[in-house]
Each structure stands twice: as C-alpha cells, then as structure tokens.
Amino acid sequence: MKPSVKKSWGFWLAGSILLAGTISSAPIASAETVQIAGSRPYSIVLPNGYAAAKPAPLVILLHSYGGSGDQMVNYLQFNGATSSNGIIYVAPDGTKDGAGKKFWNATPGCCNFGGSKVNDAQYISEIITQVESRYTIDKSRVFIIGHSNGGFMSHNVGCNLADQVAAIVSIAGEQFSDPNMCNPVGPVNVLQVQGTADLTVPYSGGSLGLSQFPGALQTIHTWAEKDQCNTKEIASNQTLSLVSQKSLPDTKIISFENCALASAVELWSIDGAPHVPIWNSNFMPTVINWLMKHPKPTQVAPTPTPTPSATPTPSATPTPSATPTPSATPKPTPKPTPKPTPKKVSKVVPKKVAVKPTPRR
C-alpha cells in the first residue's frame, strides 16, 4: 500500500480514539520515574501503603494509536480502581512514527504504518524485569491491559511473554491473523472486550490499511486452541453492565471449558458499543476482579494416592509327617564343601561437585 494511504489511515485511527484522553482521573498515590536504556522512560505508580513484605500485583497499561500512557490511565479511570488491591502499575508510551503518533509495533494488522523495526515486546519484557528487581512483585499476577493498538499489543505480549505474564485484557484489539505467528510457551489467561458496533476495529475483523486482522470471535478461538481448551463456545447466562449509566445489562460472556492448567479464555461482547466505549463505574473494578481471579496458570501436583498394602500370603497347610522308614545301614557323612569367602569390595563415595547456577538472561 502507498505510504500516503497508510498515513491517512493512521490519522483517521488517531482521530477516532482521541476521546480516550478526555476523561479526568483521580490523583496518583505516589510515583517513581525509572529510565530504561536511556531512551524510553516510564513511571512506576505505587499504591498507598505499599510494603515490600507483601508481594503486589503488577499491571501494565498499553495506550491506543496516537495516545499516551497518561491518556490510558485517564480513559480507564484506573487510579480509583486499584488501591483496594494494592496494585503497582506502569503506563508506558510507544515510540513515535513518521506522523508523530505514538504506537505499538503489535501485529501486521496494527499499527506500524511506517515499517518501524522497534521490538516492543522486548521493551515490555524489560519493564517487567526492572520493576520486579526494584519492588516486591507477585510474579503470578503480572497483567497487561491494552486498548485498540494497545489491545493488539496485549495479544503480542501474550504470545511472546507467556513466561512473564499471567493474563492479558484486550479492549478492541485482535490476535495475529496467522495463528502460527503466536507461540506462547504456556497457557495465558485471555479476556477480549469489544463492542459489537465497533467501526474502527470491526467486531467481525477487517483491515486498517495494513494486513487483515481477525474478528473478536476468531481471536478467542485462536487463544482457545493455544490454551488447549475445548473449542466449543459456552454462552454464559450471566450478563454484565459495563457501559450503561443505569447499570442495565449490556454485555454477554462467551468462554471455553477444560483449558490447560485451568487457564481461561473469555469474550465480553458489549451490545451496540463503539470503538471507544464510555465506561460506567462497574467496568474497571469488574476487569480487575477478573484479573485477580486468574493468576498465572501453573501445574498443580496431584495428591499422591496411597499404595494399598500387599495382601498377606496365607500360611501353607502343614505337611503331615511321613511314616518312619526302618533304619538302613548308615552311610558315611560327606565332608561339607567350604564356601568361598566373598571378596571385600570397597565402596566408592561420589565426589560432591558444586554447580554454579546459570544466570537468567
């Protein structure tokens, strides 16, 4: 596609999500700015009452195309929803493209309009590692939440950083169109949230002037296969209220059963919602509650089954004494053959060898 066409798509996409930064947020509790590699700084936001003795969940927020970390915090009204769970969070910025728009190099479908070679999965991995080195993080509860381009990037992170991340939440962002491009090293909890009336990233899939991207249903089916779930969709009787200002039910839930290591894959379909929904007060607490219930999938060792004791062998029936035979002429008693003396074998004591742990890269 011609660069000018890609550029126009980028401006249109950025304009369609401008609303994401217009909602005010509560003041942050405390913040520390950390520099990574001298080029892409970010802020670590600590909850009130953070104590190193208690491991804290970590959430990384990924903004939409043309947005910023601060706008993402405001859009989700994230500050007010985290204090009760003691969450540490980071809201980094993507790099700028040729049009000056911040973006994430997520999938071929969104939103690298300039052909950048930036590796954002590596950048996010570095953020997780550095935050874990500075603070006491619950490594079973490292979560990603992204919107639009940030939602696409959430799927990228799930595919490439499954060893570091417990769950991803993608709001209006889709999987790779080619499932072979997603190769997680283990199960990942996945929550896809999308409005059925999304015209920017259509619910049924489409294109932003780049490669095609799948729809919401295909996205969760790809994850159901990656997480080894039964791929039959389960429509829940439960409904949620995420955008209705009157707390009326507006969201249906689709999930899958029997996923590997009790992982979860869900789709929350918001009836009639656009690309940038205006959330009600239920939304963020409901998402955080879902995340806290879905820590990193791990193998639970089965309880050993006690081995039944062997059935005792019944005593043999005593053999009746033989009738005595008349004594015969005694034969000479043969001399016993002496038994060979066993040779003494010296035991070989294995030498202990200290093994240095291999540093993790």
173 has pLDDT over 90: yes
Task: Give the pLDDT confidence score for residue 346 in this predicted structure.
Answer: 42
The least confident of 26-40, 84-98, 103-117, 234-248 is 26-40
The helix (H) or strand (E) run that includes residue 160 is: helix 149-160
Q: For residue 324, give the 3-state DSSP assignment.
A: coil
326 has pLDDT over 80: no
Q: What is the DSSP string of 120-144?
A: HHHHHHHHHHHHHHHS-EEEEEEEE
24 by Cβ neighbours in 10 Å (0-12 / 13-18 / 19+) ranks as exposed
* Separation of alpha carbons 111 and 248, rounded Å: 34
From 158, 189, 157, 155, select the one nearest 174 (Cα to Cα).
Answer: 155
Averaged pLDDT for residues 57-62: 98
The least confident of 197-206, 256-265, 304-313 is 304-313
Query: Whole-prediction pTM value?
Result: 0.79
348 has pLDDT over 80: no
201 by Cβ neighbours in 10 Å (0-12 / 13-18 / 19+) ranks as buried
Averaged pLDDT for residues 203-217: 98
* Separation of alpha carbons 248 and 255, rounded Å: 21
* Separation of alpha carbons 71 and 89, rounded Å: 14
Share above pLDDT 90 across residues of the chain, in percent, rounded to a whole number:
67
C-alpha to C-alpha distances, 152 to 32, 123, 198, 241, 353, nearest whole angstrom: 27, 15, 15, 24, 48
